[in-house]
């Protein structure tokens, strides 16, 4: 599917500004952006719920079909699960018997075999969302549009559903345009990620590109990348000019790549060629446990850094002085 210079205005306000985008068959494209950036509007525009003010949508095979799933399941309360799933078939004029059969079969792939005669309010949230997905998928859409579909579910259920949907998608081969604000969700499934601000696509790339080379500080900020500092600051720490192109004037480093150096231990000199590094000192402001160990907030002069440690055995103490080693090669550079 190709969007070509699409603009959508609602009450004279431009929500989407001449946006162009292609989604390849079988691809999962994750769209991220702050609230109010026009994600939902774009989905509705693609689904045909909103008319395009200008621009056009084209498909590889002439006319494409879409399915749209919202954050809330929005199941028809007066219809059973089976009837909900068969709704789209009913619209297409499939005969009652035939569509009951199809919907019944489809229930199996949704793992809802026994719930066909239930009413929506008798289902759990995850089940409801699965029905909602099934309702869209039974129509074999070329492109499935998901508007934060699992946002209101708990983490484990969300992960289950994501992997279930991922497998389903790989099997059936439809493409997905997936709006989410969960970074982990995006990373786990996205073939490509797009970042949208104020109705404009800011950056498109595969997940690693997006994280390694955010196009701007705004994107970096949106992705909440840790330890973002200006080139100037880095140069202060390294106390030398860094060999970088002019355009890359900011850098970030993952908290896992910052290494805490114990007072006692000597710098490792085990023969492996060390790259450029810098050691800065500061003291611990805050300690936050995470899955791997602790995340520490370190104050160094006027800057704060985030550092992760591995292992739980040693509990860092607040106000403790500390030294951190920064490897130049682990810094990702981007432009403001």
Partner 1 sequence: MSNGLNEDGLKMWEKNRLRVQLNSYKGLLGILPALLFMLFFFIGGSFHALCLSIGSSHQISLLGEEDLLWAYKELMNPSFFQSVAVSVGIAAAVAVLSGIIGLLTAIFLATKSARWKWLHIIFQLPIGIPHLLAAYLLIQVFMQSGWYSRIAYYFGWIDKLEEFPVLVHDEWGIGVLLAYMWKEVPFIVLLIYPFILKLISDWRDQARALGSTFSQTVRWVIIPILLPMWVGGMWVVFAFTLGAYEIPALIASTSFRSIPVEAFHEYSQFGLERQPIAIAMNVVLAVISLLVGSLLIYMQMDWYKRGRRVW
**Choice from 2, 9, 74, 200 touching partner 1 (CB under 8 A):** 74
- Binding span for partner 1 by CB under 8 A among 73-81, 172-180, 204-212, 284-292: 73-81
Does 88 bind partner 1 (CB under 8 A)? Our answer is yes
**Choice from 6, 16, 52, 68 touching partner 1 (CB under 8 A):** 68
CB of 90 to partner 1, least distance (A): 7
Does 136 bind partner 1 (CB under 8 A)? Our answer is yes
CB of 32 to partner 1, least distance (A): 22
Does 118 bind partner 1 (CB under 8 A)? Our answer is yes
Does 312 bind partner 1 (CB under 8 A)? Our answer is no
- Binding span for partner 1 by CB under 8 A among 134-142, 188-196, 237-245, 284-292: 134-142
Does 134 bind partner 1 (CB under 8 A)? Our answer is no
C-alpha count within 13 angstroms, C-beta hemisphere, residue 234: 25
- Binding span for partner 1 by CB under 8 A among 67-75, 153-161, 201-209, 250-258: 67-75
**Choice from 8, 23, 29, 87 touching partner 1 (CB under 8 A):** 87
Kindly tell me which of 79 and 244 has the beta carbon lying closer to partner 1.
Answer: 79
- Binding span for partner 1 by CB under 8 A among 23-31, 118-126, 158-166, 196-204: 118-126
Does 330 bind partner 1 (CB under 8 A)? Our answer is no
Count of residues that bind partner 1 according to CB under 8 A: 27
How far is Cα 29 from Cα 27, in angstroms, rounded to an integer? Answer: 6
Residues 29-58 that bind partner 1 (CB under 8 A): 44, 47-49
Using CB under 8 A as the criterion, which residues of the chain lie in contact with partner 1 when the complex forms?
Answer: 44, 47-49, 65-68, 70, 74, 76-80, 87-88, 90-92, 118-119, 121-122, 135-136, 139
């Amino acid at each position: 599917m190709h969007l070509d210079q699409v603009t959508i205005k609602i009450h004279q306000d431009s929500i989407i500004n001449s946006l162009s985008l292609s989604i390849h068959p079988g691809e999962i494209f994750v769209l991220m952006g702050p609230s109010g950036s026009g994600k939902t509007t774009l989905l509705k525009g693609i689904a045909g719920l909103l008319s395009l003010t200008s621009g056009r949508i084209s498909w590889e095979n002439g006319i494409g079909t879409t399915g749209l799933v919202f954050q809330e399941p929005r199941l028809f309360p007066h219809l059973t699960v089976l009837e909900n799933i068969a709704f789209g078939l009913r619209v297409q004029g499939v005969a009652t018997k035939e569509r009951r059969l199809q919907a019944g079969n489809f229930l199996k792939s949704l793992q809802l075999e026994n719930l066909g005669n239930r009413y929506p309010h008798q289902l759990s949230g995850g089940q409801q969302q699965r029905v909602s997905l099934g309702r869209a998928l039974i129509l074999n859409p070329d492109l499935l549009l998901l508007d934060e579909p699992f946002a209101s579910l708990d983490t484990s259920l969300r992960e289950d559903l994501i992997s279930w949907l991922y497998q389903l998608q790989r099997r059936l081969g439809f493409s997905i345009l997936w709006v989410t604000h969960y970074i982990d969700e995006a990373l786990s499934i996205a073939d490509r990620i797009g970042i949208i601000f104020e109705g404009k696509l800011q950056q498109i790339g595969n997940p690693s590109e997006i994280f390694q080379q955010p196009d701007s500080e705004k994107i970096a900020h949106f992705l909440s990348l840790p330890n973002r500092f200006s080139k100037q600051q880095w140069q202060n720490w390294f106390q030398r000019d860094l060999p970088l192109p002019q355009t890359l004037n900011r850098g970030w480093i993952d908290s896992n790549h910052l290494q805490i150096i114990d007072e006692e231990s000597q710098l490792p000199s085990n023969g492996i060629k060390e790259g450029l590094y810098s050691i800065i000192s500061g003291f611990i402001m805050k300690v936050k446990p995470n899955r791997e160990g602790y995340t520490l907030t370190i104050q160094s002069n006027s800057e704060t850094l985030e550092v992760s440690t591995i292992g739980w055995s040693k509990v860092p103490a607040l106000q403790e002085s500390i030294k951190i080693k920064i490897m130049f090669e682990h810094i990702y550079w981007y432009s403001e």
